[in-house]
Structure 1
Amino acid sequence: MPEKTESFTIKSWNRDDRPREKLRLKGRSALSDAELLAIILGSGSSGESAVSLAKRILASAGNNLSSLGNLSLTKLMTFHGVGEAKAISIAAALELGRRRGLTESPYRYRITNSASANRFLKPVLAELPHEEFWVLYLNNSNRVLKHEQLSKGGITGTLVDIRLALKLALELNATAMILAHNHPSGTLIPSEADKQLTRKFHKAAGSLDIKLLDHLIVTDKEYYSFADEGLL
């Protein structure tokens, strides 16, 4: 009769090593990324705890949660101890985190500089495998009235209709706008087409007394600000 392998479940660990107990006693912020991922996993495999397995998974993504969110179910299932159910749980948890970033009340969010704009836009754009163009519409206190996808394209580009963007700005009574698009390649260098589009937006918006505050290029690691670089 084959010997039954024993899984190192969280309940079998020492009390001080249990992420669930640690979360309950010390709060969510006290846990490392690996410990939070271990809770999602629930258990490791024969000879390996869930925390150890979580550390290996995170290491494969460069210990970057955005990169982890890009891992496919097939890639996650290559780790010993991660079956389809656990892979789906990881993907679902990361997607919930991404959506939370999108659905936090925009009316409380005030844009003060390019970094704050990037914090708002990164959950929207950073992990996409294709290019999208978005617009932030702001009131006279630079608080976000609405964020709207203007176009969706391929890996290397997307078409943008300036008239549609300005039509919505007028409907919202927006006094300022911030443009943003992502570069799936990871490069932060604006193309000549990016520069031309920004100039056209700036001129068109200005004719309606709407300020174009910035245009961001967003990647999963960094961002590029036209305003910070003196291109607006």
Structure 2
Amino acid sequence: MRQPTASLSIKNWSEADRPREKLVRHGKTVLSDTELLAILLGSGSRHESALDLARRILGDNDHNLGKLGRLSIHQLMSYKGVGQAKAVLVSAAMEMGRRRQMADTGIKSAVKCSRDVFELLQPVLGELPHEEFWIVYLNNANKVIFHSQLSRGGITGTLVDVRLVLKKALELGAVALILAHNHPSGTLKPSAADKQLTEKLKKAAVALDIKVLDHLIITETNFFSFADENIL
């Protein structure tokens, strides 16, 4: 059986090469993704340093932080040297990063095109394994005044209550709505149900003098706009 060697421990490296010390001395931006993940892991196993473990995990996920963020606790724990505590820490850090991206996107002063809505909601919907339906509420200057999840469903669909959509619009004084939901399958083609729901909401909103400006289908990297395709 292979015996552990002292060199595997990051503590035995020179301070200039240790990820934690590098971050303190030079700032977080100088660290690679591997080094940042190694800091979260804290340690490796008897035969692998935290840095080597981090490199292996990232390599298995094409060095894509999006893929890493989608790993479950169980999947992270499948790596030798990653127990539940480490897996939870990594998962929590990935979720914090996703939420920060959402916060940094911010609420735009005004929605000028479909891509503005995509950039607002992609951090929320883009990587979800299940389907969610969201509503963006706008004032008369097309400024976003509120956006929220209306429903959450399985991978094949979600239920939408038209009454709740319009009730919230009236409470907020919104004059326009943008509908959005994700397709976990990655397809951008709207289903018959998507089209029917859009028409149903559009007709119901007209009675209250509220406009439905668009309906976006969002995936991890792209989107489909009903308005852009002239099928609204």
Contact 1:106–1:144 at 8 Å: present in 2 too? no
1:28-87: CA deviations, max 9, x gaps?
Answer: 333332222121112333454433322321232233323222212221122232222211
- Name the CA distance, whole Å, in 2 between partners of 1:63 and 1:109: 35
Q: Which residue of 2 aligns with 1:221?
A: 221
Task: Specify the alignment match of 2:75 in structure 1.
Answer: 75
Could you say what secondary structure the match of 1:43 adopts?
A: coil
Question: Is 2:186 aligned against 1:182?
Answer: no
Listed as ranges, the matches of 1:139-158 within 5 Å are 139-158=139-158
Alignment partners' CA distance in 1, 2:23 and 2:111: 32
1-structure distance, mates of 2:25, 2:140: 44
Q: Deviation of residue 4 (structure 1)?
A: 6.0
Q: How has the CA–CA distance of structure 1 residues 56 and 112 changed in structure 2, closer, same or farther, with 3 Å as cutoff?
A: farther
| Alignment map for 1:1-232 (pairs within 5 Å) | 6=6, 8-102=8-102, 107=107, 110-232=110-232
The answer to whether the 8 A contact 1:155-1:184 is kept is yes
| TM-score computed with the length of structure 1 as normaliser | 0.83
- Aligned partners of 1:67 and 1:182: how far apart in 2? 17
**Deviation at residue 108 of structure 1 after TM alignment:** 5.7
**Deviation at 1:133?**
0.8
TM-score by length of 2: 0.83
Indicate the SS of the match to 2:215: strand
Residue 101 of structure 1 and its aligned partner are, at CA, apart by: 4.2
How far apart in 2 are the matches of 1:143 and 1:52?
48
Equivalent pairs counted in the alignment come to 231
Q: 1:104 to 1:39 in 2, by over 3 A?
A: same
Cα separation, 2, equivalents of 1:170 and 1:230: 27
Contact in 2 for aligned 1:101/1:120 (Cα 8 Å)? no
Q: Which amino acid aligns with 1:187?
A: T
Cα 1:228–1:65 change in 2 (3 A) is farther
CA contact (8 A) 1:9 1:42 kept: no
In the superposition, relative to structure 1, how do residues 113 and 7 fare at CA in structure 2: closer, same or farther (>3 Å)?
farther
* Partner AA of 2:211 in structure 1: K
Unaligned runs of 5+ residues in structure 2 are: none
* Contact 1:106-1:145 at 8 Å conserved across structures: no
Aligned residue type for 2:155: I
Q: Counterpart of 2:214 in 1: which secondary structure?
A: strand
Query: How far 1:135 sits from its partner (Å)?
Result: 0.5
* Contact kept in structure 1, 2:7 and 2:13, CA below 8 Å: no
Alignment check: 8 A CA contact 2:3 2:47 kept: no
Deviations 1:144-194 (A, max 9, x none): 222222222222111212222112111111132221111122222110111
Distance 1:222 1:175, change over 3 A: same
- Please list every run of 5 or more consecutive structure 1 residues that lacks an aligned counterpart in the other structure: none
Identity of aligned residues (%): 59
Opposite residue 135 of structure 1, the aligned amino acid is I
